[in-house]
Amino acid sequence: NAGVTQTPKFQVLKTGQSMTLQCAQDMNHEYMSWYRQDPGMGLRLIHYSVGAGITDQGEVPNGYNVSRSTTEDFPLRLLSAAPSQTSVYFCASSSPWGEQFFGPGTRLTVL
């Protein structure tokens, strides 16, 4: 039982490049979400999904896209990376009562 997995663990991009952060869970949770963590700001919700085929925006969605074709996978796409997107990104999946299980994170630097 791997829980929530994320790849890659580290990534460096140049401004304007695009990339996809991968997230997968094996707990059969319907709810999944993406957060970014910045110093002094806690975790901010980027996008979330309540099931396959259903996604919605969180607090800071601009510059990011998501899709949910299966229950297990919830990739996050950066369309055109900007230095403001330098952050640590966490994926999480949630039990029905809201307890969230987090992946190990992806540390992204945009130059």
Partner 1 sequence: AQSVTQLDSQVPVFEEAPVELRCNYSSSVSVYLFWYVQYPNQGLQLLLKYLSGSTLVKGINGFEAEFNKSQTSFHLRKPSVHISDTAEYFCAVTDGGATNKLIFGTGTLLAVQP
User: Which of 68, 78, 90, 110 touches partner 1 (CB under 8 A)?
Assistant: 90
Q: Which is nearer to partner 1, 41 or 111 (CB)?
A: 41
CA 108 to each of CA 1, 5, 34, 62, 93: distance values in angstroms, whole numbers, following the listed order: 26, 16, 14, 16, 21
Can you tell me which of 1, 10, 14, 98 binds partner 1, judged by CB under 8 A? 98
Please tell me whether residue 74 binds partner 1 under the rule CB under 8 A: no
Q: Residue 110 CB, nearest distance to partner 1 (Å)?
A: 19
Q: Does residue number 42 form part of the binding site for partner 1 (CB under 8 A)?
A: yes
d(CA 54, CA 88): 24
CA separation, residue 70 to residues 1, 4, 7, 30, 74 (Å) = 18, 14, 17, 10, 8
Contact call for residue 26 and partner 1 (CB under 8 A): no
Among 58, 61, 63, 75, binds partner 1 (CB under 8 A): 58
Nearest to 5 by CA among 65, 73, 51, 67: 73
Residues near partner 1 (CB under 8 A) are 31, 33, 35, 40-45, 48, 50, 56, 58, 90, 92, 94, 96-105
